Structure 1
């Protein structure tokens, strides 16, 4: 329930380090549950599947992610019985599932993608891992849905850290725009590109890259 999630949010704010990052996996399972429930629900064309209460519940779940203990990097030593989780273990499914949820909302709905309740909570989490998040979206710059989401994110006040990281990474963006091969940023690049379906039309990377540059200006 929303009151219960509110209580959990309060505890995470106070005692973040007492919680395990694996709580994030449980939260992702809840989001996936709502997605599957929504997919199987009969609905008339143009009708909004979720109730406002459901939408707010999912938004409250998403808002917990930025409060989770910071994930260790891939080289950090783990505590006994600690599971290794990397930022991409949450970034990729969280962005994907939120996009899937919003795609089911009619454009005219008060909770449509334009009026999303999820974008700010998501951005707060991504800003906790700015380098990984920027790499994730740059690897998908040729995919319209991901690109549109990234533009919205870096324009939010909560996305300022991502915008700073993007500006610091402008040389890589230029290589993407002009399709210049460069040295890989090692493991980070490899993780960011996992599951990426490359668009066969190179023009998307070019034009989206230019638009991103204009947004940074």
Structure 2
């Protein structure tokens, strides 16, 4: 099976060709959105993180930002941060893929000058990305992720089984498949372990699952207080097990 996509500098393929404006912290959101408003064809990704964080929470945020920029659906990245050190850290991690990336700091520049400079670079990136052409690539080079959205009683009847069948076919063809929100498989983790390719993979999945459960308990938080969500309950689900199995 062949698909059409954009070959990136590190050999991976993307099916989108975004030029993103990536703020490292929430203070930089306004500047990032200012650039996106000026330059058609860019996408700002504002978020509420990057400040007053430490330890694993801090590192997770930065890994997420870096991973967003490294994603093969992204052609080029403009990184904006209040401080140059952190802007450069994110830009350097993205640059390892070989794609174009530029870092800008608001400190000692101010929002307006930062927006002006970043917009000029973003315009260059958009023009460059617009000249890229799709080319055929094997489904074995495809990476695909799934994200749930407000599950209800119909999810287990139609949408989730459909996504599951698609994943099974793509997995058989050699694609790489991912899903997030690990804790939402609570009650169905044994079924996933049964489908793991090897006992070692099953054990690693169980370790990740158990570690997340332990993290929640260590904070004195009751998972049942957030799962299922209010929207899930309105849709007819009553337990996290029902949500996981659906």
Q: Structure 1-normalised TM-score?
A: 0.30
Q: Which has the higher helix share?
A: 1
Q: Which has the larger radius of gyration?
A: 2
Q: Which has the higher strand share?
A: 2
Q: Structure 2-normalised TM-score?
A: 0.27
